[in-house]
Structure 1
Amino acid sequence: MKITGAKAVIKALEKEGVEYIFGYPGGAILPVYDELNTSTLKHVLVRHEQGAAHAASGYSRVTGKVGVCLSTSGPGATNLITGIATAYMDSIPMVAITGQVSTNVIGHDVFQEVDITGATDPFTKNNYLVKKVEDLPRILKEAFHIATTGRPGPVLIDIPKDIQMAELDFLYPEKANLLGYKPTYKGHPRQIKKAVEAIMSSDKPMIIVGGGGVMSDVKEEIIELAERIDAPVATTMMGISAFPASHRLYLGMLGGDHGVFAAKKAIEEADLLIVMGARMADRSTGKTEEFAKRAQVIHIDVDPAEIGKNILIDIPIVGELKQVLKDMLKKDFSKNNPTWCQQSEEWKQVINGVGEKVEGLNPMVIIKSLSDQANKNTIIATDVGQHQLWVGRYYAFEKPRTFLTSGGLGTMGYGLPAAIGAKLGKQDQEVVLVTGDGSFQMNLTEMATAVQEGLTIKIIILNNSCLGMVRELQQHYCEERYNQVAMKGNPDFCQLAKAYGFKAKRVNKPDEIEESIKELLSEEGSFVMEFQICDSANVIPKEGGCLR
């Protein structure tokens, strides 16, 4: 029995176990949308295609499944680009499907035509322009396989409208056959042996966990290794939640400028680093020539391109993190480092934070109050800016996949659609977005999507009426010459939230913080809580810098 290409797309998604599609319709993708009418797939209509990609990413982050987003050609496809690049930088499995103009007019600059495969080639694991309807089943199977294997990431499929309307005999492959694509999962035994020998000869070992530690679900393996060798553990921003914050060996978030004091001091003193599933990019290392100068480095990663790309490596291990750690832990080794652990514990007592001299509401106090009161299963999403770093530094995450943020690309506007995707993926868990007044305005229209889907999303806006991260950078590096950072046209966020059907409250007194957080978390419906924080509050404390 013959079916259309559009029907084949839907049947393939159903066979891959897709539950939600996040998208926005248009002429070039209309045949696929028409087939959704008789499908079991649930489509979520976002208010901007970028929101579709971020929602698919948030859904993937909390479930471990592939996120799927759908758009029309031209501007619909280009609006997905930022979300696709965000997923690529953070290794999130995603399949993006775009409509395209008919094959006979491609290259003629017709209405809503754009070369989306060319545009996304640098930041997708693979992409396809479908030229024959018979290729659709194979391409869809390959796309899901590529997105989820090796180092995860986004794959784009661009489908011309005439291909969607053409007919084929549908037979979906049981597996993908990709010559030359064979990710390495099992670490080399000789390299694992070298790593164990290096651990046994070290006096000050330290573990660094990146986003791969979350995606690979290796919490128990990391805990076992850390406890066996008395190694303190720090995470990159993307690695937050891979290791429980309450554990005695956890130091906190690593970062050249923005990491916590204990993690930075341990890096300076360690004689061995065990890096797991981390790119070790500049935000984690700071100046690479100053990074971990005393330490040998073991780097475990499924992507060989990341090993040695940013820092010098002594013992590389290419392989899937969970498999490598399981093989490593089969070895009979352990080591006690009581002096090193005691020193790390002393560093943890140093809180190099926002400080107590901030006028008005202290964001550190707000985040700590949220952390103290929220259930440990609560999923926290952030946008990008100072609030993101305050959450990374002061919120104590206990369970994997409970922290969503744009780490690699640093995408403002990521938070709200990601929170929506997360809530659909984990409907029994509370989802709280922490955002700033600048980031929130990037995709605030997705509040309508939350209302449309009947989702309960809690939103904390840390409103300093400025682009706080840029202001802080101008304070430090531009001798306080502030330019284009004051957000003078901000709306009344509480009135705006109410217009969308959210409850809302503004907080501007320090003694109201604790009770207001309690009210936010106990509210049954969606709630926007706006905290009017001081515009001079910094991630890296420094006197002055107030815009008032």
Structure 2
Amino acid sequence: MKMTGGKAVAMTLIEQGCKAVFEVPGGQMLSVVNSFIGTDVRVIATRHENAACAAADNYGRVTGEPGVCFATTGPGATNFLTAMGGALRDGSPMIAFVFQNKSQDFGRGDVQEVDHGDIFKPICKKYIAIRKASVAPWAVREAYRVAMSGRRGPVVVDCFRDALESEEVDYEPMDPSLTRTTSQYVPAPGLIEQAADILSGYKKVAILAGGGAKMDHATDELLRAAQLLHAPVVTTHNGISVFPTDDEHSFGARTRMATRLARETLEAADCVLVVGSSLSAGTTARWALKMPDIVQIDIEPEQIARQYPTRLGLVGHCKLTLGLLNAALEKTVSRNDAERRAFLEERKASRDARERELAESPMSDATASPAAPLAVMDELSKVIDGNTSITCDAGTCVIWTHRLKMCKGTVYNKAFNFGNMGFGIPAAIGSKVARPDMTTIAFLGDGALGMTVGELETLVRENLPVIVIVINDGAYGLIRLEQDHMFGAGPNIGTMLTPPDALDYAAVARGFGCEAIVVNRADEIAPAVTRAKAMNRPCLIEVKFDGTHQIFPEAF
């Protein structure tokens, strides 16, 4: 059927399964946006393009399908860059549409003009331009194919205005399975058996699970591997929530400043099975982590042995590869079984001792005012269940979230490897749109709130009952603590914000139409979250937070 290029873009998006578009409007995109009228596609206008892109990023993390975002030419498009970096570095599927002026005017200095290709190519998997309406359906299908193939990531589609508005194309719907690869990569059987033999030969085996394992939903396979090998399991920051913390094999997260228990566990092993982790700087404290022998599973061949020597690399999807490995391990794990069991018990004793130490720390005092960091996480853990989605921003507050207790089904996401601020609330928007059935909590500091406070209005307007927990320590707290670590405690310059008692974020939230609750002590947090859930409306919980507890070089 004949239609404009803009209509064809919209119809191909619907054909590919697009359910939502996050955008800040611009004239160049109206031919596409207006084509969604009368369809089931939800168009959500955010208050900043970075928020639209971050929302699409987390939509992709939660669903496994590409999140879609729109921005107009020039400054609208460039506002995508920061959030897109987070999607690229963490392997999140996304398709970002940027809308260019008319092709005959391109290069002449038109209003807002910039060469999108030059800007976006270094920060996406592929850049695709629609200069003629005839390529529109192919371009959208290609974007989905690339975003979902191999290691997932963002694709940029650059739409020229005349191709959308002035030209027509013959569009015929197509089954998405005909244009997308079903990339179920697994290693050759001989390699699987070799890996099982290698692992069974060690007496102290640990598992490090990363974001690739989480994206592949490999929780069950990780649980089985841990049982077979009696292996303590540590996650990367991107891997948080892929392994339930209430399992006896759980030993927390290893990332930039936390935790000592996780570091000691990995370094005490004589072999680590690395599943879906690039062993990046954040995970390894810039490669200072002393890793033993490694067996590594990753979808990207280039990640195998990139950072650490590897005894054996298995290129394939984490879930499928680990499932095959478990089947092979069942035939070989009787070797050194007693020794591996003893290693797990020794590690559990260390974990129990560490828990007793932390319980007596001032950081765990639930009655302290302002609220103590570990106590905040322990109390918040009481109201987190397997139907909770948590989106975390950058900053000090997120360092402490390694302490959160998460059972199977809990979803935790942060833009870790790029470390971009301004993720928490927009990501919660994407999560709530993707999974309206889940309780959605955005967790961020006052510094990150300043970058995204306008999205409180988006929550209200779109009727998204997200709980926004703001940890208010009156500073860019992470950098202030690093400043203290490097130069001695105070005076601080360039890192301080308005003191917590001098700025009423609850009043700001109410001004946007949100509910709001102020918390001064950690033991007030669980009741506040319970109240916020019952409201079933956007609610901001401001926590007056003690940000003086040092996190460098390790938080706890």
Counterpart position of 1:506: 518
Looking at structure 2, the residues matched to 463 and 110 of structure 1 have their Cα atoms a distance apart, in angstroms, of 44
Counterpart position of 1:524: 536
Give ranges in structure 1 of 5+ residues lacking alignment.
544-548
Tell me the CA shift for residue 104 of structure 1.
1.1
Q: Which of 311, 316, 319 is residue 319 of structure 1 equivalent to?
A: 316
1:423-438 to 2 correspondence within 5 Å?
A: 423-438=432-447
Counterpart position of 1:125: 125
Counterpart position of 1:404: 413
Counterpart position of 2:485: 476
Counterpart position of 1:444: 453
SS at match of 1:206: strand
Give the letter for the 1:530 counterpart: E
Counterpart position of 1:347: 350
- Does the aligned pair in 1 maintain the 2:254–2:263 contact within 8 Å? yes
- Does the aligned pair in 2 maintain the 1:142–1:176 contact within 8 Å? no
SS at match of 1:346: helix
Looking at structure 1, the residues matched to 543 and 416 of structure 2 have their Cα atoms a distance apart, in angstroms, of 24
Evaluate the alpha carbon distance shift between residue 201 and residue 43 of structure 1 in structure 2; reply closer, same or farther with a 3 A threshold.
Answer: same
Counterpart position of 1:282: 281
Looking at structure 1, the residues matched to 245 and 32 of structure 2 have their Cα atoms a distance apart, in angstroms, of 45
Counterpart position of 2:100: 100
Counterpart position of 1:356: 362
- Does the aligned pair in 1 maintain the 2:50–2:82 contact within 8 Å? yes
Give the letter for the 2:547 counterpart: D
Tell me the CA shift for residue 143 of structure 1.
0.7
Percent identity, aligned pairs only, is 28
- Does the aligned pair in 1 maintain the 2:15–2:174 contact within 8 Å? no
- Does the aligned pair in 2 maintain the 1:243–1:400 contact within 8 Å? no
Tell me the CA shift for residue 174 of structure 1.
4.5
Evaluate the alpha carbon distance shift between residue 297 and residue 438 of structure 1 in structure 2; reply closer, same or farther with a 3 A threshold.
Answer: same
Looking at structure 2, the residues matched to 501 and 517 of structure 1 have their Cα atoms a distance apart, in angstroms, of 18
TM-score scaled to structure 1, two decimals?
0.93
Counterpart position of 1:69: 69
SS at match of 1:441: helix
Evaluate the alpha carbon distance shift between residue 405 and residue 289 of structure 1 in structure 2; reply closer, same or farther with a 3 A threshold.
Answer: closer
Counterpart position of 1:546: none
Query: What's the CA shift string for 1:345-391, capped at 9, x where partnerless?
Result: 02212147694067631021111111112333111111111111111
- Does the aligned pair in 2 maintain the 1:234–1:252 contact within 8 Å? yes
Give the letter for the 2:350 counterpart: W
Looking at structure 2, the residues matched to 49 and 342 of structure 1 have their Cα atoms a distance apart, in angstroms, of 50
Tell me the CA shift for residue 188 of structure 1.
2.6
Looking at structure 2, the residues matched to 541 and 150 of structure 1 have their Cα atoms a distance apart, in angstroms, of 35
Evaluate the alpha carbon distance shift between residue 463 and residue 31 of structure 1 in structure 2; reply closer, same or farther with a 3 A threshold.
Answer: same
Tell me the CA shift for residue 429 of structure 1.
1.1
SS at match of 2:454: helix
SS at match of 2:451: coil
Tell me the CA shift for residue 415 of structure 1.
0.5
Counterpart position of 2:89: 89
Counterpart position of 2:229: 229
Q: Does 1:214 align with 2:214?
A: yes
Looking at structure 2, the residues matched to 5 and 360 of structure 1 have their Cα atoms a distance apart, in angstroms, of 57
Counterpart position of 1:378: 388
Evaluate the alpha carbon distance shift between residue 67 and residue 175 of structure 1 in structure 2; reply closer, same or farther with a 3 A threshold.
Answer: closer
Looking at structure 1, the residues matched to 179 and 127 of structure 2 have their Cα atoms a distance apart, in angstroms, of 14
Q: Which of 286, 294, 315 is residue 297 of structure 1 equivalent to?
A: 294
Query: What's the CA shift string for 1:47-100, capped at 9, x where partnerless?
Result: 111111111122222222210011111111111111211111111100111110
- Does the aligned pair in 1 maintain the 2:386–2:409 contact within 8 Å? no
Evaluate the alpha carbon distance shift between residue 509 and residue 173 of structure 1 in structure 2; reply closer, same or farther with a 3 A threshold.
Answer: closer
Looking at structure 1, the residues matched to 358 and 512 of structure 2 have their Cα atoms a distance apart, in angstroms, of 35
Evaluate the alpha carbon distance shift between residue 251 and residue 161 of structure 1 in structure 2; reply closer, same or farther with a 3 A threshold.
Answer: same
Evaluate the alpha carbon distance shift between residue 514 and residue 155 of structure 1 in structure 2; reply closer, same or farther with a 3 A threshold.
Answer: closer
Q: Does 1:167 align with 2:176?
A: no
Give the letter for the 2:299 counterpart: V
Tell me the CA shift for residue 528 of structure 1.
1.2
Tell me the CA shift for residue 195 of structure 1.
1.2
Tell me the CA shift for residue 289 of structure 1.
5.2
Tell me the CA shift for residue 160 of structure 1.
0.3
Looking at structure 2, the residues matched to 479 and 49 of structure 1 have their Cα atoms a distance apart, in angstroms, of 38
Tell me the CA shift for residue 400 of structure 1.
4.6
Looking at structure 2, the residues matched to 120 and 49 of structure 1 have their Cα atoms a distance apart, in angstroms, of 15
Query: What's the CA shift string for 1:101-142, capped at 9, x where partnerless?
Result: 111121222111111222111121111122222111111111
- Does the aligned pair in 1 maintain the 2:280–2:286 contact within 8 Å? no
Give the letter for the 2:61 counterpart: R
Query: What's the CA shift string for 1:20-45, capped at 9, x where partnerless?
Result: 11111112222212322243311011
Tell me the CA shift for residue 177 of structure 1.
8.9
Q: Does 1:538 align with 2:544?
A: no
Evaluate the alpha carbon distance shift between residue 454 and residue 513 of structure 1 in structure 2; reply closer, same or farther with a 3 A threshold.
Answer: closer
Give the letter for the 2:396 counterpart: Q
Looking at structure 2, the residues matched to 469 and 290 of structure 1 have their Cα atoms a distance apart, in angstroms, of 21
SS at match of 1:168: strand
SS at match of 2:86: helix
Tell me the CA shift for residue 514 of structure 1.
4.6
SS at match of 1:420: helix
SS at match of 1:373: coil
Worse-matched range after superposition: 382-391 or 150-159: 382-391
**RMSD, aligned CA:** 2.3
